[in-house]
Amino acid sequence: MDEKQRKKELIKEFKQKQREIFEQSLPMERVLFEKLFDYLDIKLEENECDDTNKLTREFLTKNKIENNQAVLNWLSENGGYCDCEILANIEEKFD
């Protein structure tokens, strides 16, 4: 394997490791985050963001998420302080 191929392989391994670390840091299942993003998309079309995470808290309650404070803390630690920031800053991390 030449040097260029080796660098590509190292970058690929690094990115994979970063994805694994991210997945392990999630305080609820990935599928629930995806449902949260869909919920916020719909709700924020109906109403403007009020600079709170009210809609996110509503979603967590409706879906009986027991560790909702841990989820809210994780969201804010990752740039999601209000509902529209959760969509803008957090959703892209799941791509």
pLDDT at 23: 86
Any idea how long the chain is? 95
At 83, the pLDDT band (50, 70, 90 cuts) reads very high
Phi, psi of 51 (to 5 degrees): 65, 25
Measured CA to CA, the distance from residue 27 to residue 80 in angstroms comes to 14
Other CB atoms within 10 Å distance of the CB of residue 55: 23
Phi, psi of 32 (to 5 degrees): -70, -35
Task: Please name the residues in contact with 51: beta carbons below 8 A apart, sequence gap of 6 or more.
Answer: 82
21-69 pLDDT, tens per residue?
888 899 999 999 999 999 999 999 999 999 999 999 999 999 999 999 9
Which residue bears the tokens 């599928």? 31
53-63 pLDDT, tens per residue?
999 999 999 99
